[in-house]
Amino acid sequence: MKDVEKFTTNLIAHRGMHSSKITENTLDAFALAMKHNYIIEFDVHLLKDNNIIVYHDDNLQRLAHLNQKIKNLKASDLKKVHLPNNAKIPMLAEVLQLINGKVPIIIELKCDNRVGKLEKELVKYLDHYNGIFAVKSFNPLSVMWFKKHRPNYIRGLLLSGKEKLRNKIMRTNFIFNLCKPDFLSFNYLLYKHKLMNKKITKLAWTIDSLEKYQKYKEYYDNLICENILDEVHKI
């Protein structure tokens, strides 16, 4: 039985609890989120050597000031890569070892390659992970892969509102019915989207101000937050 409600018990820390002093998607960001018992959301990419790293962008430019695509790198290449606050890009194995089932996690797949490559490598870790987890993707084909190959996994479909054609298709329910996701993860501005009528767990991203938190919490079952978790904790 899939316990999707586990992802509504506390706020979700977007890429961990990061700030100007703690870099996103790093062990320090996850450790701080765990300290406050927040659910943790993070991103994964597949490297050229089939290792999996926890990182958001498909390029190192924004955080490391290196114009290199993640999919062209090997784990050994990352040893010389420095992120802000002297942080390192963590391997998925390191992150799973740190969290170790202490809080639920939501893993967003960044599909830089054809669908199936990252998914096949990811399940090698998750099949043996002793904790509550969910996978999600913007790519319906990735969500469908899990439906077919790991139907026991909690899977989510992301909607941004930017992909006009895809969202037009989604409004017909065609993609939704193919994927049969266990939850939907919306850009918070999509609170009037037709799929909001579905009887399914709905998460919103990214809530980065108290104003947004107060306004949109009534529309969604939970919120994926950054920069405001300390302030929300005091409310």
CA–CA dist 232, 230 (Å, integer): 6
Least confident of 107-111, 118-122, 172-176, 231-235: 231-235
Q: Quick one: average pLDDT of 112-132?
A: 96
pLDDT at 138 exceeding the cut of 80? yes
Q: What is the mean pLDDT of residues 88-94?
A: 98
Only one residue has tokens 């290449």, namely 77
Please say whether the beta carbons of 19 and 25 come within 8 A. no
Q: Give the bridge partners for 222, in sequence order.
A: 203
Q: How far apart are CA 140 and CA 185, in angstroms?
A: 13
Cα 56 to Cα 111: distance, rounded to the nearest angstrom: 11
Residues 74, 53 contacting (CB under 8 angstroms): no
The pLDDT value recorded for residue 173 is 81
Task: Give CA–CA dist 183/221, Å, rounded.
Answer: 10
Averaged pLDDT of the chain: 93
SS3 216: helix
Q: What angle do CA 160, 162, 166 make, to 5 degrees?
A: 85
Listed in sequence order, the residues at least 6 apart from 42 whose beta carbon sits closer than 8 Å to its beta carbon are: 15, 16, 25, 30, 54, 95, 105, 106, 107, 108
φ, ψ dihedrals at 20, nearest 5°: -65, -20
Q: Tell me the per-residue pLDDT of 51-74, one tens digit each, with 9 for 90 and over.
A: 999 999 999 999 999 999 999 999
Smallest CA-to-CA distance from 23 within 108, 82, 76, 80 is with 82
Map out the domains of the chain with their CATH numbers: 4-234 (3.20.20.190)
Q: What is the pTM of this model?
A: 0.95
Q: Does residue 175 contact residue 140 with C-beta atoms inside 8 Å?
A: yes
- Percent of the chain's residues with pLDDT above 70: 94
| The residue to which tokens 């579905």 are assigned | 198
Distance CA(227)–CA(130), nearest Å, equals 29
In this model, does residue 194 exceed pLDDT 90? no
Q: What is the mean pLDDT of residues 196-200?
A: 93
- Our CA angle for 154, 157, 162, nearest 5°, is 165
